[in-house]
Each structure stands twice: as C-alpha cells, then as structure tokens.
C-alpha cells in the first residue's frame, strides 16, 4: 500500500494553482528554479510561506519551512517523482554503496521514500529519536540539497525536517569509529535498523539515492 508523502499532505491542493504561477514568474525573470534566493523573491512564494506559517509562528523553524516549499516546488516541476526504497535496496545502498554516480539525469528532483521505521535520527538534541519517512533531493550544480523528513505519522500534526547541502562528503567517518548509518538505538542492530548521525550522513544518504533516480530516468517509458 502506497503511503502519502509530505508533498501529498501539504501541497496537493495548492500545487495546481500556485506552483504554475511561481514557474511563470521564474521563467519571466529567466531565473534558475534551483536558486533559492531568486525563488524567495517571487511574490507567490512569499504568499505561500505566509499561508503555511502557523498563527503562533515557528521561530527558527522558518528555514525548514522555506526548504520544504522549495523542495516541493522543484519536485512538482520534475513531475512529483517518488522513489520507494525497499528494505533490500536500502541495505544495499547503506552497507555497500555504488561508486559515485555520473551527472544526475532528469528529473533532477525527487522524493526517496523509505519503508516505515527503518532509519532513525535525533532531530533535536535531548529529544527522542524519530523515524525517517524519506528525503527530498535535488541537484544544484555539483551540489545536492537533501531535506530529510522525520516523525511523519497519522496522530501528529506536521513533521520534523532537516536539510543538508553540499558536494558529496569525502572520507566521512563517525568519531566513535562505528560504521556509517549503523544503529545507535538500543536493540537497533537486532531489529535491522539504521541511524543517521549528523547532517553529513543525511547528505551522504541523499547522494546514494542518485543511482535509483538515474535508473528511474533511464527506464523505458
């Protein structure tokens, strides 16, 4: 059974009207949609952010809201592609990653969705770890922007989001010497779980999903 994505939950109704207006404004100004600074100058984007912002405000969470809207727009522009990652495929890309992928084919933006409760991360220090639903990914030049979505569940309004951006990390290691993505939750090893520790592991996860996106792009239609 297909699960709803953050795009479905937040933007399904507004995407048909406000996203086309944003695209028109960006095309009129000959702006690269991946340029977040230019994106934030579009009046329709400002309006959408205002409409999504809770009445009580979100404080430091504004950066995450901006990132969510930008990723969602680029996902829409690329056809709202969702890449479901099976347990077997997740194990393969986390435990035995493929060599660095060539340039990302079209579409350059997508949502990689994990099976429920496979990957966990502590989004806020001293708070309990949250399960990862998936991540939005888009290519901007030689960099990736990866927005991880955590704690998405039916009994909760909203979810947590964390963004990481940059080139592929080189020589990435954990300070304690444990393997990247290995579980830090009690009993996680026996349960076959994984953990993200730090923004660089989130970014690396995004880079490792590129092979799936390229396979999807190259598949016969």
**33-56, pLDDT tens digit by residue?**
999 999 999 999 999 999 988 766
Largest CA-CA distance found in the chain, in angstroms, rounded: 55
CA–centroid distance for 121 within its chain: 14
Rounded distance between C-alpha atoms, residue 164 and residue 204, angstroms? 9
206 in helix, strand or coil?
helix
Q: Is residue 192 within 8 Å of residue 74, measured between CB atoms?
A: no
Q: Is residue 165 within 8 Å of residue 78, measured between CB atoms?
A: no
pLDDT confidence band for 2 (50 / 70 / 90): low
**99-149, pLDDT tens digit by residue?**
655 555 556 899 999 988 899 999 887 788 999 999 999 988 889 999 999
Q: Which two tokens stand for residue 166?
A: 């940059």
Q: What is the DSSP secondary-structure string of 64-123?
A: HHHHHHHHHHHHHHTT--EEEE-HHHHHHHHHSPPSPP-SPPSP-EEEEEEPTTSEEE-S
């Amino acid at each position: 059974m297909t699960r709803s994505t953050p795009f479905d939950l937040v933007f399904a109704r507004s995407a048909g009207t406000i996203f086309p207006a944003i695209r028109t404004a960006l095309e009129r100004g000959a702006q690269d949609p991946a340029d977040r600074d230019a994106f934030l100058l579009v009046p329709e984007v400002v309006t959408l952010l205002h409409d999504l912002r809770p009445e009580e405000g979100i404080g430091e969470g504004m950066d995450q809201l901006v990132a969510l809207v930008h990723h969602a727009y680029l996902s829409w522009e690329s056809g709202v592609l969702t890449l479901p990652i099976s347990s077997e495929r997740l194990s393969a890309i986390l435990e035995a990653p493929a060599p660095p992928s060539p340039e990302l084919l079209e579409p350059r933006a997508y949502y990689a969705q994990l099976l429920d409760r496979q990957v966990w991360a502590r989004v806020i220090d001293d708070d309990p770890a949250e399960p990862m639903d998936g991540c939005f990914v888009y290519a901007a030049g030689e960099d990736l922007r990866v927005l991880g979505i955590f704690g998405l569940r039916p009994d909760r309004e909203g979810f947590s989001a964390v963004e990481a951006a940059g080139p592929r990390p080189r020589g990435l290691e954990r300070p304690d010497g444990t393997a990247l993505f290995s579980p830090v939750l009690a009993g996680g090893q026996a349960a076959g779980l994984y953990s993200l520790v730090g923004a660089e592991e989130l970014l690396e996860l995004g880079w490792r999903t590129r092979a799936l996106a390229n396979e999807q792009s190259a598949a016969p239609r």
